[in-house]
Each structure stands twice: as C-alpha cells, then as structure tokens.
Amino acid sequence: MKKIEAIIQPHKLEEVKEALKAIGIDGMTVIEVRGHGRQKGHKEIYRGMEYQVDLLPKIKLEMVVPGGRADEVIRTLVAAARTGKIGDGKVFVSDIADAIRIRNDDRGEGAL
Amino acid sequence: MSEAAILALPAPESVANRLSARTAEVEERVREAYAKTLQPRSSAGLALVAVGGFGRCELFPASDVDLLLLVEFENQIPPAREGLSQFLQVLWDGGLRPSHSVHTVADCVTEHEGNAELTISLLDRRLVAGDPAMFQWLDERFRTFAAKRAAAVARQLARLAEARHAKYQNTIYHLEPNIKDTAGGLRDLETVRWLAALQRRGEAPDLESAFNFLAAIRIRLHEIAGRDQNVLSFDAQEALSEQPAALMRDYYRHARQVHRTARRALEAATEQPGNLLGRFHEWRSRLSTPEFTVSRDRVLLRTPKQLPPGLSLFEFAARHDLRLATDTVERLAGFTPQAKWEDWKLLLALPRPSSGLRAMQEAEVLAAALPEWGHIECLVVRDFYHRYTVDEHTLVAIASLESIGDARFAALFEEIDDPALLRFALLLHDIGKGSGHDHIEASLGIARVVLERLGAPEPDRATVEFLVEHHLDLSKAMTSRDLHDRATSRVLAERVGTIERLKMLVMMTYADCSAVNPQAMTPWRVEQLWQVYVLAHQELTRALDAERIHDAAGVLPEQSRFLEGLPTRYLRTHTATQIEAHCELARQLESRAVAIEIAHERSVYRLTLLAHDRPALFASVAGAISSFGLNILKAEAFSNARGIAVDTFVFSDPHRTLDLNPPEVDRLRGIVRRVIEGKQAADKLLRARPKPFVSSRAGRLKPRVAFNNDASEASTLIEIAAEDRPGLLYDLARAISAAGCNIEVVLIDTEAHKALDVFYATADGRKLDSALQDRLKNDLLAACSAS
C-alpha cells in the first residue's frame, strides 16, 4: 500500500477528483493548506504598493491506494493537476504498513 | 436510511408516562442496590436523594441518574466511601450511569461560588432510600435557603443559561440542534420551571406541548444512539419523520416559544428591586426619547396604544444596540409596519443594523414588513456545510459585517459608499431558497418584486439586483478558477464592471461565507478572497484608461458622438437620464466655453462640467471648489474622442456656505467658469482662504505614491493614498500639471480621512519616463504632507 500526498492548485481540485474517480479512486482526504515551495510566494500590487504574499492557498490531497495501482493514480493525478506553470505543486509517495477499517476490523488492502 | 422504517415519535400524551415509568424502573434498581450495599453499613444519618432529572421523575432512556448521598457529619464520608463504591459498581454493572455526590446538609444550604449546579440540582429533590428524618431536615433547611437566596440563585441560573446559549451561538436555528442545551431546548424549559419554583409565583408558564414534543424527540434520540445523545442530526431527522423539513419547522416553532418564555422569565428574575429613585433614574435613561423608553437595555413604548411609524422602533433599537422589552414584543403582535425604501435604507445604513433586524425577527415584524421573508423562516436547506436555517444564515451574514476580523476587509468595508444596499442585498440573497428552482434566479425574481414595491430608485435597484444575482461568482472563482490567469480577472472585471461594485461584491461574499458556520471563514478562504479582490481591482483600474467606448450601441447618433472615446466606466456609472443630460450640456458647448450643472443631493453637492480640454483644467476646478471651503469627496475626469472633458466633483459643505446662502451656488458656478476661461487664477483664490487646522493625530496615514507604466497602452497610472485634507486634490492635480503632464483620467475617492486617488497622465502624448516620475513623485509626496 502506498500513501499519496499531493499539493495542488485549488482550482485544479475538481478536475483531479474527476480524473481519479474515472479510474475508480473515490476515497481521499482534502485539506485546505497554505504554504510555499520554490514559488516562494509572489508580489502583489494593490493601490500601487507592492506586497509580498508569503503563504499561498493550496489544496492537499491524501489517499492510500493498493501498491499495484500507485503508478496509475500518480500519473492520472499529475496529468490532471498540471498547468505547466510555476506553483503547480508536488506529489509525495510513501509506504504504508497497515490499514484498519474502524467499523469492522478489516485490515490491509481490504480496508481501503 | 431510506429503506429503514420510520420510527415515529411517541404520542405527546404518552411522554410523561414513559418518563415516569423509566424513573420507577430505575428507582427500583437503585433501592435494591442501596439495600445491598449502603444500608447494612449505617442505619441512621444517611439518606439517598434523587436530584436533577431523576428527582423530577423525568428520566430519559439514557440519562444520567443524578444521586445525592446525604450524610449527617463530615466524618461519615470516609467510612461511607467503601459502601458507596460497591453501590455504584452495582448500578454500573446494571447498565445505569449514576452521577453522584456526597454532601452534608450544611453543604447543601451554602452558596458555592462557581458551582451553582448543586443548588440547582437540589431544586428537584426526592427521597429514594435511607433515613427520612435526614431528608426532612434537608428539605426544610433548603426551602428556607432557597426562599432567602432566590434572587442570587436566579442570577446564577441566568449566568449558566447565558454561557450555554453562547456555546451554541445564541440561536435556536441550528440545522442539527442539540435539543437539550441549545437556546430553546429542554434545559431552557427546565430553567423556566426552576424560576417559577424559586419565586413561588404560582404555576410555571404553560409549556406542556413544547415539553412533550422535545421530550418525545429526546426519548427517540436516546433509543437510537443507546446513549445520552441529544443532537437532532440529519440522520436522526430522517429516522423520525418522512418529512424531516416539516419536523424541523415544528421543532423551531416549539423552541422559539421555549426560548422566548425562558428569556422573559430570566429577565424578570434578574431585575434588581432597587429603590424608587434608582428606578426613576433608570426609567429616564439617557437614551429615552419622546417615543421610546429604555429600561435595562430594553426598549419600551411610551404610548403603547400608538405603534411607531415605519421602522423607527427598530432603527432606535439598532442605533443603540438594544433589545425590545417583552411587553413591546407583545404589543407588536400582528403589527405590519408601513415601511418604504427610505425607511429600510435608514435602518440598514446604521453601523450595526443587525440588532434592529433581530428585534424585527423576534417580534415577527420582519415577515410582516417583508412578506417574502416568510419563505425562508425556519427553512432548512440541507447540505454538508450550512449550520443554520436560511433566515438565521441571512441575519448572521449581516451581523458578520459588524465585526470583521481581518483588517484588510474591515478597511475595505469602510470604503463602501452605501452599505445599506449591500445589507439589503444580503437580506434577499437567499430568499428564493426552497422554491425548488435555482435559488439565484428565484432570489433575483423576488428581489425585483420587493424593490419595485418599496419604490427603490433605479440606481439602488440595479445595485441590489446585481449583488443578488452575482453573490456566488467570487466564491466560485475562488475554488474553480486559476486566479493568476489574466483571463480570470478579465472575466470578473468585465462582469463586475466598476470598482465600487467589486468592493460590495467582495464584502457580500465575505459575509455570506462567514455565516455558513462559525468556522467557515478560514484564513485559507480569507486569503483566496483577498486575491480575487486584488486581481479584479487591478484589472478594473487598468480598464479605466484602457477600455473606451467605441460605436456605442442602442443610443441616438448625437449621443454616440458624445460617448465616443469616453472610458466604458462612464456607461456603467451613469443612468440613461444622466447621459441624456450630459449630451444636453455638450450641446451648450457650441455657444460657450464651459457648461456647468450643480445639483444638491441629500447631504452632498454634485458639480458636473463639460469643457474643451485644456491644460490644468481639472486642477483649476478643484482649486475653485476648495476655495469656497467645500470638501471634495469624489471626483472623476474623463474626456471623449473630440477632446471634451467630462468632470464630476462630489463635495460636502461642512460650513454650510451653500446651504445658508443660495446665491453662493451661482457665485461658485461663476468662479468655476472664470478659472476655466483663464480669467481667474485658482491659487490666488485659495491663498485668501485661512489654512484649515489639521490635527496631528497619531497613526496618520503615511502618504504613498506609485507609478505604473504597464497598466495602460498610452498613459502612466499614478496611484496615491494619503491622509485627506481640504485642498489636497488641488495640490496634487496642480503638481501633475506643473510637471508638464496632461491628466487623461481621474478617479478620486475619500473614505474616513483617507484619499484614494487614481490619475492616468501623459507627457507630450507619451507615458512618463523615469526621470519625470522621480521628480513628480517628490512633488506629490510633498503635496501630501503639506498642510
């Protein structure tokens, strides 16, 4: 099992969700986050003055998928989230030791 | 849940029986446990008392069983402990949830700071087992104690109720209410009964049907969850009724009655008796007027037989942030105020109108004055995010503008000229919900009817309708558009049209999002909304100079000639009638150098002038107006393709020069004409005026001057923000003209001592080069700081 965490542009959320749904991935956690990577915020001009905006609103997606599907999910996610511009975000992948469904004690991939 | 059978509520008349049956069953088991564990240890000086819900014989299926173990002496407590833990063990093992305390009689008749619960629980006391003499002793002493300390206990009850209501945002209109603790819940009902018992004023007000309804729901909630669960969740609503919306309307009706009765009882109970003189002073509170009396922050009518005209009562309540006295609410039953557009605007223009609207809602006058409000009263629209009914959401939205947490948005709200329009739009923004159609379409349709009926003038109507129609545009853009794509801001700017409307729509979105639930306006959302605002603001500022009218459609050829080359903003900020009047002024220019019109509009004057553009035209006129001691609030200057300048100045008359001396209006017109014709120098006029006193308040706005050569194809954008002062505009405009620049477009706004000026300028038909910018920047900063 792999955990996929993706930081994406807020306006790409719907597209990414749709794309993942199309390949059968329904479950995910969506978190509104603020942060910056290499984009390091940007300058904003308001009433002629420049302001530095440090933390940009982003969306973080988290999902755990069976190991065999991880590549497909990542490919789909990246394709849907890409605009080609700076600030498109990143995807992090990690191994998951186990998963438990609280309702009935299902374990492992069966709990996903 | 759809396939599950509906678990209908128990019949109202069976509720009391069910509760007492449950109490009897539990009592039986408690007695048994007592007999097995505690009784053998000590025969005398020990009594087991049922208190709280158990004491009232109103045990719900999963309620705590409130018990008090009464001991004669402190030193009995340690030996009793072992027996007590066995006793509790038996109850726990039997599936009950005992909640116990051990006290001496002396404890029970002492006031405990910060622990009013003991005193309150003792109001419902009953001997279950043990020494009857002990209980009788407690009973007598507690009666005396409660009679003596009734007022103090009532105040404690009031404090507890206040804290409890605050925890649930002081509203009964939750979509998923906690039916025990929310305002209007069972706890409020008990509060009413306790107060009646304390004051021995006879029977408690009749809340039987409300009790039966709420208790029936609570019985089912406990049965469904198998524990003390009192939230009437969406799932539970579906489990209890085939028509959850109807169930909830019933709920709100009962809760409203309970809440109202509880408030009345708490108000009455906490009234300070005081001496006669004190009462007299209070009666004659400094807020009182010939129509209204204010007593203990409650409004009473001076002449109860004669109801106040229009919305004056609610305006009064809003102005001073007061609530209506219970008596006033009663007198307003069936009252339909004759409120026209002006009345609504008066109310909604106040800094904190929400207390007035709340008072109207509470007295059921809101739906009488605005029958469409009835559509959304207690209306439940279920989605994942909303916490309140639609009417409550609306009132919370309006109130959210009265305490704006984010400093940027607070400042932005201050810049809105007519917040009453924004508030009225908020009042109507969701009024079409529940119609079964798209709620924006439905709300807009209703808004049109309401505005027509109230007799709102055309520009006000257009603004309110615009806000209702577009109230979701910005939040949609926040989540589904790439904000840094220029196309997004272009589309938004195009749709919104003017900076003034953008500000209103942004604040509307802020209020609407804030009122979804108490946590909805996250820093994330605040940031997103601010981004939308800044980008659209930039785009609209850019459009001032860049977007010009070309071949205006749907107008007469003569008008089209006049409009050609004016910024598109002109069309968006002027009505057809105003455009026609300007065309008429343009016609006058064939026979004279300048055409001037001065109109008195409520608290301000508006001077419109048309002239063939010439150097320093704008500066001269600004100077001439200031030389009369008039205070320029807004100004715009545009010119069309034929070189005709259309300048508008809106100014106030702080010394009432024009108000008190009508001939001065003609003199002003004459002076403006003379400075334009070059027969009089504006600086000479100003020199004669005494220097105004400028206070050196701390925290004055630091002046800012910024140049931007990218905003427009042909001109340089100069943005200035500075502390306003009389004559500032003249000094700024003159500095630009003196530097050899031509002013192409001007947009001036002042809000609360802050001048926000936008100039588009050229020098010799080109953008300003950096050397000129540096020089001009110094001159402008000097003009800002000069006093």
- pTM (2 d.p.): 0.80
Encoded amino acid at B450, one letter: V
Of A34, A49, A87, the CB nearest to B527: A34
B305 touches chain A (CB under 8 A): no
B519 touches chain A (CB under 8 A): no
Enumerate the CATH 3.30.460.10 domain ranges in chain B, comma separated.
Answer: 12-148
**What is the residue whose two structure tokens read 């008749």?**
B109
In CATH, what number does B12-148 get? 3.30.460.10
Chain A residue with Cα closest to B483? A11
Catalogue all structural domains in chain A, each as residue range(s) with its CATH number: 2-111 (3.30.70.120)
Q: What is the pLDDT of residue A98?
A: 93
Chain A residues touching residue B522 (CB < 8 angstroms): 32
Range of lowest pLDDT (B401-405, B674-678, B775-779): B674-678
CB contact under 8 A, B706 and A49: yes
Q: What is the pLDDT of residue B2?
A: 45
Chain B residue with Cα closest to A46? B534
- H helices present in B713-787, as ranges: 728-738, 770-785
- Residues B705 and B784: their CA atoms lie apart, in Å, by 9
Q: What is the pLDDT of residue B38?
A: 84
CB neighbour list of residue B279: distance below 8 Å, 6 or more residues apart:
none
pLDDT over 60 at B697, yes or no: no
B531 touches chain A (CB under 8 A): yes
Spatial CA neighbour of B359 closest among B263, B446, B287, B455: B263
B709 touches chain A (CB under 8 A): no
pLDDT over 80 at B188, yes or no: yes
Enumerate the CATH 1.20.120.330 domain ranges in chain B, comma separated.
Answer: 152-269
Structure tokens at B366: 């809101």
Structure tokens at B292: 């209204």
Structural class in CATH, domain B557-689+700-785? alpha beta
Instruction: Read off the pLDDT of residues B288-305 as tens digits, 9 standing for 90 and up.
Output: 788 888 877 788 888 878
- Residues B777 and B767: their CA atoms lie apart, in Å, by 15
CB contact under 8 A, A48 and B525: no
Enumerate the CATH 3.30.70.260 domain ranges in chain B, comma separated.
Answer: 557-689+700-785
CB contact under 8 A, B528 and A57: yes
pLDDT over 80 at B690, yes or no: no
Q: What is the pLDDT of residue B62?
A: 93
- Residues B498 and B479: their CA atoms lie apart, in Å, by 23
- Residues B26 and B47: their CA atoms lie apart, in Å, by 17
Give residue B277's pLDDT band: very low, low, confident or very high (50, 70, 90). low
Instruction: Read off the pLDDT of residues B375-409 as tens digits, 9 standing for 90 and up.
Output: 888 888 777 678 888 999 999 999 999 999 999 99
Q: What is the pLDDT of residue B379?
A: 84
Other C-beta atoms lying within 10 Å of the C-beta of residue B404: 19
Chain A residues touching residue B482 (CB < 8 angstroms): 9, 11, 83
CB contact under 8 A, A47 and B482: no
In CATH, what number does B152-269 get? 1.20.120.330
Chain B residue with Cα closest to A33? B524
Q: What is the DSSP letter of B170?
A: T
